[in-house]
Amino acid sequence: MSLFDASPLGSVPLAGKTPEDAKRPLADRMRPETLDQYAGQEHILGPGKPLRRQIEQDRLTSIILWGPPGVGKTTLVKNIAHQALIRGHTVRFATAGELLGELAALDSDTALRRRLHLYASPDLLVIDEIGYLSYSNRHADLLFELVSRRYESKSTIITTNKPFKEWPEVFPNAACVVSLVDRLVHHSEVISIEGESYRLKEAKERAEMKTRQQGKKS
């Protein structure tokens, strides 16, 4: 799903209202698509709360969104990014693996400078899924360089499933981890998103359905 496929906040029909929706996997149908569908996240998305105000008032800010896998972090940041796009801001979205893999694969200083400039230039950069993979010292250095280029001049949103104390496991032996976290946290909203994984809910639903079907056969 690209940014340009993301649906604007507040304009998506509720899941399951069309025949096409009914065919979607349960995890997709349960995953929130608008602000008001983020059940249980009133502490960050309720009326008048800081994140909601920032979105509604077109205020770009840096955000670090932390939470366990499957609770809707990616969907939320794609919605935020889409809102920034339709309001005229330049936006780039990438997973951490894609971004760092692309930068590390460049074999010339000129190509690397150009690619860093590409990621450093947008009004909003979204880096999704830091913490699902581990990275080398070079990856850590490249991320620090990119964050430094955007520091105090551009907005960056990061999603992660790891608290900062576990980031040395993501970037083992990297000397810049403490400086990287310090630079990210400074001027950023650090927000915890809670809840049960939508994928876990789907797995439970499938198990219950299988149990019911087996009960009918016996």
Beta bridge partners of 127: 94, 158
Per the CB < 8 A criterion, the answer to whether 8 and 185 are in contact is no
| Mean pLDDT of all residues in 54-63 | 82
Query: Sorting pLDDT into bands at 50, 70 and 90, what band is 71?
Result: confident
Phi, psi of 211 (to 5 degrees): -65, -40
Q: What's the pLDDT at 11?
A: 33
Q: What's the pLDDT at 51?
A: 77
Is 215's pLDDT higher than 60?
Answer: yes
Phi, psi of 111 (to 5 degrees): -65, -40
Average pLDDT over the chain, rounded to whole? 80
Q: What's the pLDDT at 39?
A: 53
**Higher confidence at residue 42 or residue 74?**
74
The CATH number that domain 3-217 falls under is: 3.40.50.300
Per the CB < 8 A criterion, the answer to whether 157 and 81 are in contact is yes
Residue extents of the structural domains in the chain:
3-217
CA gap 214, 126 in Å, rounded: 45
Query: Sorting pLDDT into bands at 50, 70 and 90, what band is 168?
Result: very high
Lowest mean pLDDT among 54-58, 118-122, 178-182, 205-209: 205-209
Residue percentage of the chain with pLDDT more than 90: 53
Q: What's the pLDDT at 75?
A: 87
Is 4's pLDDT higher than 50?
Answer: no
Per the CB < 8 A criterion, the answer to whether 159 and 129 are in contact is yes
| pLDDT tens digits along 73-82 | 998 899 889 8
Burial bucket for residue 165 (CB in 10 Å: 0-12, 13-18, 19+): exposed
**Higher confidence at residue 53 or residue 160?**
160
Two tokens at 188?
């950023």
Is 108's pLDDT higher than 90?
Answer: yes
**Higher confidence at residue 141 or residue 60?**
141
**pTM value?**
0.75
| Mean pLDDT of all residues in 29-52 | 66
